[in-house]
Amino acid sequence: MEKRKSEWFEWIKALLIAFALIFVVRTFFFAPIVVDGPSMMPTLHDGDQMIINKIIYDINEPERFDIVVFHASDKKDFIKRVIGVPGDHVAVKNDVLFINGKKVKEPFLSRMKQGENTYTDDFKLEDIPGGYKKIPEGYVLVLGDNRGNSTDSRILGLISMDQIVGKASLIYWPFDRLQIMNY
């Protein structure tokens, strides 16, 4: 009888430790998200299930082309790509991205651009809410990969580092799209 109680106690203890570890990891390090909508096509698809790294930006600053999740409002998180970082001037003219006056290739968009249609309407940093000439410290400029169907910095303005939840790290579902996110 005593052995049975001890065995039950060990199982309960193991389960409590497992749940505590899951809670800590989920709260502070990694979190699952589901992509909602087509704004990041073709890189991310509506319904993709992903893991985001919540601690990376406590260690490093976001880099250009990172895919980040941020609080767009109290009730809604968005997933977009970092295009501009502090100190940058960003502009798009004739579907070409310019960072600080230099052309920058966006290889992740090549599958979306087709024909002679404009993919990204012309804009410059001064045109977005806030009217900045350069991106200030503590902020980034984000755009969706599907530029014609994305609510991003062109509408929302610059995104504060305090709004960023984490970096998209892995697509785990659907299984045929399983991949580590490189950019």
Residue positions annotated with a catalytic role: 39, 80
Q: For tokens 């659907």, what's the residue?
A: 174
Beta bridge partners of 119: none
Task: Please check whether residue 45 is in contact with residue 34, taking contact to mean a CB–CB distance below 8 angstroms.
Answer: no
Distance in angstroms (rounded) separating the CA atoms of residues 168 and 81? 10
Please state, in angstroms and as integers, the Cα–Cα distance from residue 56 to each residue in 60, 98, 148, 171, 175, following that order: 6, 27, 30, 17, 25
